[in-house]
Amino acid sequence: MYQPYTLADVHASAQRKRFTYISTFAGGGGSSMGYKLAGGHLLAMNEFQQIAADTYKMNFPDALTICQDIRSLDVPELMKRVGIQEGELDILDGSPPCPPFSMAGKKRAGWGQTKKVYGHVQTNIEDLTFDFIEMGAILKPKVIVCENVKGLTMNHARDYFNEMVKGFESIGYTVGHKVMSAADYGVPQKRERIFFFCIRDDIADKLGINFMTVQSLFPEQRRPVPTLKDAILDLQEDEENMKDAEFLREDIKRRPKYEWMHLLPKDDINNPWPVKQGAAYEELGQYVPDNKYFQTRRIGWSVPCNTLTETGQTTGMCGLIHPEEDRQYTVKECLRIMSLPDDFMLTGKRVIGSVSCMHGGHLLTNDFLRKLLSDQSNFTVVESIQNISNLKKIGSNQKRIAVNA
């Protein structure tokens, strides 16, 4: 059974200060949430993307937030700022970028390529893992935890996987690794990831820890698996959530390319996977462009949700649709599926006329946006901010609006 919680619960647990940790590739604070709930005391976080760092800072205002490329991070100076010596840190945590290894990505074809991330050009992002290892070599924490996608264990990435293990071992760590599903640990989502658990050799020797010992700490299933119904069904009583749901339903109706959505079977308790993974429905043929691989599906109420992706797309390999309604998930539903607090705050960038609002979600209220967008004669909606320059000239009685969807 999934148990909702709030940021107050997180901050209360963190006050126990049972161990110290530094979080790298920290994003908006998802992994930090787990450490804090376990009583961890955050010393500092490092994140490259400003939008993600802003979200982190909003939810953890007291955190030392360092927004810069890990490759330019002065680790000895960081140690001075947080008041630690070599070997004193308990845990160094990191989740290096996964696109080169993701099952939904380009795999080997994406290695060594240039990628634009939130306006920044990045090359060889797969090598950032080794910059993370170099950071560990300087800090010498008691434990290093590194998380990445399951695709890292597949044939196309196996050599890279082996180099990672050698890298951790070369700086003095005993390495254990295991693919685990978040659903086995109380998250209402089948999110499989590989975790590297690296114990400093002197500690491993003292405690008699080896590769098999580390793996045995994490059984396949620790508790009953939470279902989508456990996580989000009660949100149907939440007024704000239902307003968002209605907006998404109406938005789908206005998009011809999503006409196929109503053809997907509704939830059936006897068939929790109404659209099998990899299946292409013949009835959807007219809606599938150029016979592309079609894997969009509903997820049944009686099972955990499949993996939510960064883009939250409705078509393609990771497309996910509500069990009964013809729409994507609302923000509140996504927070639950990701096992984040109900009052977790999100930042983003929305451009309205000449005004750039850096705070979205909870700060730029949904009620305000609904009122603004209620009269369609006053605005033009652009699906991608990058397309603003391509807009046709709009009349003086209209306003130019870009919605970062």
Q: Which residues lie below 8 Å from residue 116, measured CB to CB, with a gap of 6+?
A: 122
Q: Minimum mean pLDDT among 155-164, 208-217, 388-397: which range?
A: 388-397
Q: pLDDT, tens digit, for every residue of 281-297?
A: 455 555 555 444 455 66
Q: Which of 100-104, 114-118, 340-344 has the lowest mean pLDDT?
A: 100-104
SS3 21: strand
Residue 275: pLDDT over 60 = no
Q: What pLDDT score was predicted for residue 215? A: 74
pLDDT digits (tens, 9 = 90+) for 205-236: 999 988 777 777 777 666 788 999 999 999 99
Q: In the predicted model, what is the mean pLDDT of residues 168-179?
A: 95
Through-space distance between the first and last CA atoms of the chain, rounded to whole angstroms: 31
- Label residue 365 by pLDDT band (50, 70, 90): low
DSSP 245: H
pLDDT for 154: 80
Q: Is the pLDDT of residue 267 over 60?
A: yes
Sign of the alpha-carbon torsion through 35, 36, 41, 44: positive
pLDDT tens digits for 45-57? Answer: 999 988 899 999 9
| Pair of tokens at residue 313 | 């797309």
Which range is least confidently modeled, 79-93, 148-162, 303-317? 303-317
Identify the pLDDT of residue 287.
55
Whole-number pLDDT of residue 399: 38
CATH 3.40.50.150 maps onto the chain at: 7-216
160 confidence band (pLDDT: 50, 70, 90): confident
Residue of 265 and 112 predicted with greater confidence: 265
Least confident of 316-320, 347-351, 401-405: 401-405
- Judged against a pLDDT cut of 80, whether residue 155 lies above it is answered with no
165 has a pLDDT exceeding 60: yes
Task: For the chain, give the mean pLDDT.
Answer: 78
Low-confidence winner among 70-84, 135-149, 321-335 (lowest mean pLDDT): 321-335
> pLDDT at residue 169 above 60?
yes
Q: Which fold has domain 7-216?
A: Rossmann fold (3.40.50)
DSSP string, 246-257: HHHHHHHHT-GG
Tell whether the model's pLDDT for residue 367 goes beyond 80: no
3-state secondary structure 116-182: EECCEEEECHHHHHHHHHHHHHHHCCCEEEEEEEHHHHCHHHHHHHHHHHHHHHHCCEEEEEEEEEH
356 forms beta bridges with 351
| pTM (two decimals) | 0.78
Q: What is the pLDDT of residue 283?
A: 54
pLDDT at 158 over 50: yes
Q: Which pLDDT tens digit goes with each residue over 2-29?
A: 899 999 999 999 999 999 999 999 999 9
Q: Is the pLDDT of residue 395 over 70?
A: no
- Rounded to 5 degrees, φ, ψ at 357 are -105, 115
Give CA–CA dist 168/202, Å, rounded: 14
Reading the block at residue 118, the tokens are: 């939130």
Q: Taking each helix axis as running N to C, give the angle between helix 7-14 and helix 30-37, from 0 to 180 degrees, rounded to the nearest 10.
A: 60
